[in-house]
């Protein structure tokens, strides 16, 4: 899957800081936007997916002149880790995403991300302590999805319908982590 020349030109317009592969600092927010539709009735675990950074990966701080580690629009690639269909009426599909690399100045660089999980409407939990994460469990009437064993670093998405499609443009929130 290729991106248009306009996208490539926009990506090249804002250069990023040179980072050694796998050396992005932990704890930086990352928002990834899916680049292409994924028809889930044809998808399987292991399928490649493509996205782009919806905003730059930036060092913490308020310096508006600081160069980002990765520019907005940088290409991101990953894969579907699980595709599970429950045949109800209508069918319910769970797909689990993992992002693996980001294009930094033309070099595919390993990307280690953890999903940002919402905690019962009280905001976003990013790298919080165990006690902070448990606070979300006290909220009544909110469904909390716990990751399956081995899927703590992946993000599940649920889609209902007869011909479910994970639409291009869908955004997911992540935080950089150490591999």
| b/e 29-68 (16+ beta carbons within 10 angstroms → b) | ebbbbbbeebebeebeeeeebbbbbbbbbbeeeeeeeeeb
Asked if pLDDT for residue 114 goes beyond 60, the answer is yes
Phi, psi of 150 (to 5 degrees): 85, -5
State how far the Cα of 45 lies from the Cα of 43, in Å rounded to an integer. Answer: 7
State how far the Cα of 117 lies from the Cα of 145, in Å rounded to an integer. Answer: 9
Query: Of residues 20 and 59, which shows the higher confidence score?
Result: 59
Looking at every residue in the chain, the average pLDDT score rounds to 77
pLDDT at residue 100, as a whole number: 96
Contact 135, 86 (CB under 8 A): no
For residue 8, give the nearest of 57, 74, 76 by alpha carbon: 74
Sequence-distant (6+) residues with CB within 8 A of 126 are: 27, 29, 116, 175
Residue 103 has, within 13 A of its CA and on its CB side, a CA count of: 18
5-176: CATH, from 2.30.30, 2.40.128, 2.60.40, 3.30.160: 2.40.128
pLDDT tens by residue, 130-176: 444 444 455 555 556 677 888 888 988 888 888 899 999 999 999 99
Domain boundaries, the chain: 5-176
pLDDT tens by residue, 118-131: 644 322 333 333 44
């Amino acid at each position: 899957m290729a991106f248009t020349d306009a996208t490539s030109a926009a990506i090249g317009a804002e250069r990023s800081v040179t980072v050694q592969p796998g050396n992005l600092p932990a704890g930086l927010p990352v928002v990834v936007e899916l680049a292409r539709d994924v028809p889930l009735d044809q998808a399987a675990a292991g399928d490649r997916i493509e996205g782009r950074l919806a905003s730059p990966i930036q060092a913490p701080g308020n310096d508006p002149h600081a160069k980002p580690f990765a520019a907005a629009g940088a290409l991101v690639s990953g894969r579907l880790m699980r595709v599970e269909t429950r045949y109800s009426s209508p069918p319910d599909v769970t797909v689990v995403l993992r992002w693996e690399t980001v294009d930094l100045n033309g070099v595919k660089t390993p990307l280690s991300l953890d999903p940002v999980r919402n905690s019962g409407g009280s905001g976003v939990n990013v790298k919080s302590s165990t006690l902070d994460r448990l606070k979300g469990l006290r909220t009544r009437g909110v469904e909390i999805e716990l990751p399956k064993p081995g899927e703590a670093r992946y993000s599940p998405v649920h889609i209902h319908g007869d011909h479910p499609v994970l639409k291009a443009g869908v955004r997911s929130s992540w935080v950089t982590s150490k591999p």
